[in-house]
Amino acid sequence: MIKISPSVLTADFLSLADDIKRLESAGVDMLHLDVMDGIFVPNISFGVPVIKSIRKHSNIPLDVHLMIDRPHRYIKEFAAVSDWLGFHYEAGSDNAELLKEIRELGCKSCITIKPCTQPEEIYDLLELCDMVLVMSVEPGFGGQKFMPDALEKLSKLRDEINRRNLTVEIEVDGGINAETAPMAINAGATVLVAGNYIFSADDMSERVREIKSL
């Protein structure tokens, strides 16, 4: 069963509590929270205090996507408010150590690759991951177009994970809609992030059901 993790990046933050309730009743599996520091990516979003408030309003597992430079510096603070916690392979931390630390702190661990990174580069980290995240846009902004190069990366990761009999979710993030979601699923993704496609809709629940039924 495909999991859906709506990204709140393009939401209206003042109506977030209501939107989250609606998403909860629509049966979303996780809530994707994009943390940006203006250094690792050219945009600034939100940090721990906002995630803490979301936690108070919802029981949906929180899927935190750190787009910050040297993420090890803040990992304890984010682990305290996350269920799934992911950071970028390219962000300048010791990746293996950080994945281990995330698990020790009680979260599911996730490593994320940008469009410039090949999946083979993370093969030796797969045992330490509960999820891998393949970016299908350049990280930093919602509402961008899906990059089809991501499909081959998803397939390679799917093959490697199956070949080694590992239990690792494969998440895809960026430009997911009714047209790109089936392609990502066919290539091996098990968790779909969708921001704009859900939050720009008049009926968010309908969009969630549409994607979940694929």
The two tokens of residue 46 are 């939100």
- Using CB distances below 5 to 8 A depending on partner kind, what does residue 195 bind out of Zn ion, ligand DX5, none? ligand DX5
Least spacing, CB of residue 95 vs ligand DX5, in Å: 18
Q: Residue 137 binds what, of Zn ion, ligand DX5, none (CB under 5 to 8 Å, by partner type)?
A: ligand DX5
Residue closer to ligand DX5 (CB basis): 12 or 127: 12
Q: How far is the CB of 85 from ligand DX5 (least distance, A)?
A: 14
Residue 85-124 contact track with ligand DX5, rule CB under 6 A, x = bound: ----------------------------------------
Residue nearest to Zn ion (CB): 65
Burial class (CB in 10 A: 0-12, 13-18, 19+), 49: exposed
Identify whether the C-beta of residue 78 lies closer than 8 Å to the C-beta of residue 48: yes
b/e sequence 144-161, b meaning 16+ C-beta within 10 Å? eebbeebbebbbbbbebb
- The catalytic residue among 19, 29, 34, 83 is 34
7 lies in the site for ligand DX5, by CB under 6 A: yes
Q: Rounded to whole angstroms, how far apart are CA atoms 64 and 85?
A: 5
Alpha-carbon distance 213 to 70, whole Å? 38
Q: Which of 4, 9, 26, 150 is close enough to bind ligand DX5 by CB under 6 A?
A: 9
Q: What phi and psi, each to the nearest 5 degrees, are found at residue 47?
A: -135, -150
83 a catalytic residue: no
Tokens for 172, please give them: 């895809």
Residues of this chain, 122-141, that bind ligand DX5 according to CB under 6 A: 137, 139-141
* Integer Cα distance of 161 and 145 in angstroms: 27
With CB under 6 A as the contact rule, the residue among 3, 11, 31, 32 that binds ligand DX5 is 32
- One of 82, 95, 180, 196 touching ligand DX5 (CB under 6 A): 196
Whether 29 is catalytic is: no
Q: Is 6 left (phi over 0), alpha (psi -120 to 50) or beta?
A: beta
Residue positions annotated with a catalytic role? 34, 173
Q: Which residues bind ligand DX5 (CB under 6 A)?
A: 7, 9-10, 32, 34, 65, 137, 139-144, 173-176, 193-197
